[in-house]
Chain A
Amino acid sequence: MQIVKISFIAVVVILLQACLSPSRLEETAIINTRGVDLVEEDGQRFIEATIIPYIFDPEAAESTSLLVGRGTTVKDARTNAEKQSPYPLSPGKINMDFYGEEAAKAGILPFLNTLIRDARVSDRMQLAITTKTAREFLEYKQEITTVNTTEYLQDLTKKEIDLDILPRNTLEYFTRLIRQVGIDPILPILGFHDEKPTITGAALFKEDKYVGEVSLMESFFINQLRKAVNETPLNARVPKENYKDMIAYESEPTEDEEFVYLSLNLSKGKGTIKLDDFDSLSFKADIKMRVELLETSIPMDIKTAETSKRLEKDIEAYYQAEYEKLFEKLQSHNVDSFGLGRKYVATRKGSKTTAKEWYEKYNNATMDFKVNVTIVNYGTID
């Protein structure tokens, strides 16, 4: 008899909550890509949201279109953009989020706030900065590419991340670093090159503010100090005079060049940062790289272990110089992308270190780079 009673209650459940409104797949405009800009109009700052949703309308030729809305908050801008859409907008599937240069310089945390607060938003959403405003970027991109747009851009950045050139640009990772004392995040910058969307560089963030740009190569250097990297294509150059005896063949145009350019493949790389001296804030970075030599700009014969050592040494010197330049640049922006502060905080006992405290100390920090390169193979020839 209990079953009868229980099934009765079950029927009541079903009847009672017919009020739960479904959000059906085909009747929702699922936001796919979002762009946020800051625009100024009549002396007032507005947030402009550019939204590309999936709208599954059998009559429409394209399932993606572009909506633009303005408002004082991101949510307000979205509500205004929603007016152009036949279905309610839903943030559950935002795959990429773009910020225009202006917006990024003003700090993107306020824009992220709604995303973090909303549990439906995926934490694996990718973030990126655009060279122009996000709206221009998305509109232009919408015009010239016919392929599924967001996926194209996603794959574009994902490829670089898989190659360990860029650190992850997911929302979850970015928000983790943004408020972490002693480390600053990096995001990719997207722009156009030959009318095709390209990653043009990496944006340095100081907390949530975009303060400077580094090249992809430098972004790799930063990444190498954060985690173990592998299978990354690299470039290096060594002074030509050191290898006069090894040059196998020289053609006309390369004769005047001072350097031999090398194309390498990093098979394994890892950097560790150590706090050498707590009081004087001197850090030491130990970087180990195992590389494969793929190509030299001038054909060379590397016959002996000694020449190989020489080559390694020159590559080491090159990278070391690059690292030092990069560190200088970071310090000039007062950005701790390497994460030196984390070491400092982890070593310092007692009171909590605040971000402000650390940034003041950061410029006095010194760093000693020690790069160790091993060439593991030269391909089929030596």
Chain B
Amino acid sequence: MRRRSTKQKNHPTFPLKLSELRQMLDSELINSQDLSFTVYKQANKKVAVFYIPYLVDQQKVEQLALQSLLDMQTEWTSDTILSEIPLALGKKDSDISSIIKKVTEGRICIYVEKENEAITYELAKSEKRGIEKAETESIVIGPQIALTESLASNLNVINMRVNIPDLAMERIDVGKRNPKETRMIYIQSIANETDVNTMRQRLSELEVDMIEDIHMLKQYILDSSFSVFPQYVSSELVDRSVYSLKEGKIVVLIEDSPLALIAPSTFFSFFESTEDRYFHWELSTFIRILRFIAAFVTILLTPMYVVATTFHFELIPSQLLVTLGESRAIVPFPPIIEVILLELIIELLREAGARLPTKVGQTIGIVGGVVVGTAAVQAGITSNILIILVTLSALASFSTPNYIMGNTIRLIRFPLIILAAYYGIIGLMFGICLLIIHLIRLQSLGRPYLAPLYPLRLADFNKVFFRLPEQYQGKRFLSYRLKDRRLFNRREATKKKDTY
């Protein structure tokens, strides 16, 4: 609800008669039909109570404000009302335009006729859902509590978990027309000051109209907007945010978004899941390596198929050659068309599954996967070996814990497939070289994207590529140049002090 503002007529000022006030409100408010404007009388005093019903908590208005107003024994004046009504956050205001603004934000306003000031009470109600289980980042073990759309409850949830005095929650309002409350959260004694300053500067210098979600904010503050790779992790899991804070990263929350943006992030943080830390270290090392292999397979499997069938059949093992040749012989298209066709089908299945309700989505998956796949092979549109390869690489890409990264990996495969089809193994290599150079060029919040691989920090490898037993990880990330790197003393942590 916006004020009909631009051409300010000569505002009448307090004191006003109630009818004048009513008239003025009707003319100033766009949605004046929604305004509830009631007049109450006591002896010779008249009081107007006005608010927009769907913005306020009706019950509280009636029970706390109206009830106690009408029960008042003393004479109604601004001062007596303010002192007798059992509500905090009451404010006096004498500027009518600011009162109107407050009403549109969900306050109720009480005006005693012919007084110089009106009183506003904060009784806003915002509809929100309760705290629920994480949906997009599903994990098996560990806390599954997710952030919600309400910034207040998000702040609450995080603050309850990181209960230390130097947890900074800086407020920055982003957006010119409709400023949204954004919180930059970090632990002051750990986080790198340069990073904090960079983030603060990026957020506060943002000249945009309005931001709907954290993903929009993310795109505005990227280091490289032309890159396909996501440069900040966004997570809905509370414990991911908490862990990141502990590691000295900066978490950004914005009003109305159920996700937290975590910066700086590296390429490898997209392959991390909070679950990794809850598993035993051997297991999580295995899973992490599996994920990297999966990403590798996703990127290279189908391009290699194109390479082998289009140019270099020498690469195919002799035993496989006949099978592959015979299944390829019935396919009327060149390998590149065949592969792109099938990859697009898989992408379609994924997209259809994501857009449809869960139950229908599953059906689509089965129908698509089984029926279309079998039919395509029988109709001679694709070779059965390719079906296996495409499914395998799709499966591998879904093992990436971060949804956006998974999609990115699948996307970068297409240019590689095309390069492979045009220049064989050399073209493929050219694509891979460009890709790696691109990754080296990327930065996240001014920190290298490929850390700790480049710049090389061997000390961080146990947090990225494999995991050591938890008590051996007594140091925070070296790559981020944090203020305080020490988590705990390893010798103390590993000592078992069992006396019984």
- Given A93-B313, A93-B318, residue A25 in contact with residue B325 (CB < 8 A): yes
Structural contact, A23 and B311, CB atoms closer than 8 A: yes
CA distance A23 to B312 in the complex (A): 8
CA distance A3 to B227 in the complex (A): 9
- Given A24-B334, A92-B313, residue A14 in contact with residue B321 (CB < 8 A): no
CA distance A56 to B322 in the complex (A): 8
Report A-chain residues with C-beta under 8 Å of the C-beta of B331.
Answer: 26
Interface size class of A (residues with CB under 8 A): 20 to 34
CB-CB nearest in chain B for A14: B422
User: Is A58 in the interface zone, CB < 8 Å from B?
Assistant: yes
B-contact 0/1 string along A11-41, CB 8 Å cutoff: 0001001101011111010100000000000
Structural contact, A56 and B309, CB atoms closer than 8 A: no
CA distance A64 to B316 in the complex (A): 18
CA distance A95 to B321 in the complex (A): 12
B-contact 0/1 string along A148-171, CB 8 Å cutoff: 100100000000000000000000
Report B-chain residues with C-beta under 8 Å of the C-beta of A92.
Answer: 312-314
Report A-chain residues with C-beta under 8 Å of the C-beta of B313.
Answer: 23, 25, 28, 30, 90, 92-93
User: Is B335 in the interface zone, CB < 8 Å from A?
Assistant: yes
Rounded to whole Å, the gap between the CB of B211 and the closest CB of chain A is: 25
Interface residues of B, dominant DSSP: helix
Report A-chain residues with C-beta under 8 Å of the C-beta of B319.
Answer: 151
CA distance A18 to B334 in the complex (A): 14
Interface size class of B (residues with CB under 8 A): 20 to 34
Report A-chain residues with C-beta under 8 Å of the C-beta of B423.
Answer: 17, 20
Report B-chain residues with C-beta under 8 Å of the C-beta of A242.
Answer: none
CB-CB nearest in chain A for B418: A14
CB-CB nearest in chain A for B315: A92
Report B-chain residues with C-beta under 8 Å of the C-beta of A20.
Answer: 422-424
CA distance A69 to B421 in the complex (A): 34
Report B-chain residues with C-beta under 8 Å of the C-beta of A277.
Answer: none
Structural contact, B422 and A25, CB atoms closer than 8 A: no
CA distance A58 to B321 in the complex (A): 15
A3, A17, A63, A151: the one contacting B318 at CB < 8 Å is: A151
User: Is B326 in the interface zone, CB < 8 Å from A?
Assistant: yes
Structural contact, A25 and B334, CB atoms closer than 8 A: no
Structural contact, B328 and A56, CB atoms closer than 8 A: yes
CA distance A63 to B325 in the complex (A): 9
Report A-chain residues with C-beta under 8 Å of the C-beta of B328.
Answer: 24-26, 56
Structural contact, A120 and B308, CB atoms closer than 8 A: no
Rounded to whole Å, the gap between the CB of B482 and the closest CB of chain A is: 32
Structural contact, B321 and A22, CB atoms closer than 8 A: no
A-contact 0/1 string along B296-325, CB 8 Å cutoff: 000000000000111111101011011011
Structural contact, B318 and A57, CB atoms closer than 8 A: no
Structural contact, A93 and B325, CB atoms closer than 8 A: no
Give the residue among B227, B312, B313, B324 with the most A Cβ atoms within 10 A.
Answer: B313
User: Is A122 in the interface zone, CB < 8 Å from B?
Assistant: yes
Structural contact, A122 and B310, CB atoms closer than 8 A: no
CA distance A148 to B319 in the complex (A): 10
B-contact 0/1 string along A134-153, CB 8 Å cutoff: 00000000000000100100
CB-CB nearest in chain A for B335: A24
Structural contact, B324 and A25, CB atoms closer than 8 A: yes
A24, A54, A90: the one contacting B310 at CB < 8 Å is: A24
User: Is B500 in the interface zone, CB < 8 Å from A?
Assistant: no
Report B-chain residues with C-beta under 8 Å of the C-beta of A17.
Answer: 422-423
Structural contact, A22 and B310, CB atoms closer than 8 A: yes
CA distance A30 to B329 in the complex (A): 13
CB-CB nearest in chain B for A30: B313
Give the residue among A17, A23, A122 with the most B Cβ atoms within 10 A.
Answer: A23
Residues 384-426 of B at the A interface (beta carbon under 8 Å)? 418-419, 421-424
CB-CB nearest in chain B for A6: B434
- Given A14-B422, A30-B321, residue A56 in contact with residue B314 (CB < 8 A): no
A-contact 0/1 string along B99-110, CB 8 Å cutoff: 000000000000
Give the residue among A24, A92, A148, A151 with the most B Cβ atoms within 10 A.
Answer: A24
Report A-chain residues with C-beta under 8 Å of the C-beta of B309.
Answer: 24-26
Report B-chain residues with C-beta under 8 Å of the C-beta of A57.
Answer: 329
Give the residue among B318, B321, B326, B419 with the most A Cβ atoms within 10 A.
Answer: B318
User: Is B330 in the interface zone, CB < 8 Å from A?
Assistant: yes
Structural contact, A120 and B314, CB atoms closer than 8 A: yes
Structural contact, A26 and B325, CB atoms closer than 8 A: yes
CA distance A60 to B113 in the complex (A): 101
Report B-chain residues with C-beta under 8 Å of the C-beta of A3.
Answer: 226-227
Report A-chain residues with C-beta under 8 Å of the C-beta of B329.
Answer: 26, 56-58
CA distance A20 to B328 in the complex (A): 21
Report A-chain residues with C-beta under 8 Å of the C-beta of B326.
Answer: 56, 58, 63
Report B-chain residues with C-beta under 8 Å of the C-beta of A18.
Answer: 422
Rounded to whole Å, the gap between the CB of B381 and the closest CB of chain A is: 14
Residues 256-297 of B at the A interface (beta carbon under 8 Å)? none
Structural contact, A93 and B311, CB atoms closer than 8 A: no
Report A-chain residues with C-beta under 8 Å of the C-beta of B322.
Answer: 54, 63, 148
Structural contact, A95 and B325, CB atoms closer than 8 A: no
Rounded to whole Å, the gap between the CB of B164 and the closest CB of chain A is: 42
Rounded to whole Å, the gap between the CB of B442 and the closest CB of chain A is: 11
CA distance A28 to B309 in the complex (A): 10
Structural contact, B318 and A25, CB atoms closer than 8 A: no
CA distance A351 to B163 in the complex (A): 85
CA distance A337 to B99 in the complex (A): 108
Since A25-B316, A30-B325, A92-B312 are in contact, a sample of 9 more A-B pairs with Cβ atoms closer than 8 Å, ordered by chain A residue number, is: A14-B418, A20-B424, A22-B334, A24-B310, A54-B322, A63-B325, A93-B318, A122-B314, A148-B322
Mind listing 7 A-B residue pairs with CB under 8 Å? A10-B434, A17-B422, A22-B310, A24-B310, A25-B309, A92-B312, A92-B314
Q: Closest 4 A-B residue pairs measured CB to CB? A: A56-B329, A56-B325, A92-B314, A26-B328
